[in-house]
Amino acid sequence: MKKREVNIQIIHNIFSKVNISDKKNIVKALKKNDLNIVPVKNFYVALFVNVEKYQEPYFVIGIELTKQMDLNKEHIKTNLNKYFYKHVQFKIFEIIENNDSSDKLIEQGEKIMI
């Protein structure tokens, strides 16, 4: 009997949509952000599902800023922790043009209007 293997070269979907109740809580948390600390233009949210075996998918939040400054992730995380348990994982990053992670999140995630 021959050994059959499949070699996956490209993974197309690394994100999935966030369920409605989690999305509502994320929106509530993001609305609490101080725009002087995190000057937000747009948010993108998704669930990162391209994880190793026995790992849980986690939330990803990409943020487009209205002006050039360092992204204050702690401020955002503090607000998220008001609605989610501390063990819930979030990856927060700034959306950058021509960046693979940013492009995939924009393509496969959800844009959130605040």
Is 77 contained in some domain? yes
Q: Provide φ and ψ at 50, rounded to 5°.
A: -85, 65
pTM for this one?
A: 0.85
Is 3 contained in some domain? no
What's the whole-number mean pLDDT along residues 75-83?
A: 96
Q: What is the pLDDT of residue 84?
A: 97
Is 44 contained in some domain? yes
Q: Provide φ and ψ at 39, rounded to 5°.
A: -75, 90
- The parent domain of residue 23 ranges over 15-112
Is 33 contained in some domain? yes
CA 62 to chain centre: 5
| Domain containing residue 67: CATH number | 3.30.300
Q: What is the pLDDT of residue 48?
A: 96
Query: Helix H segments across 1-114?
Result: 20-31, 73-80, 100-108
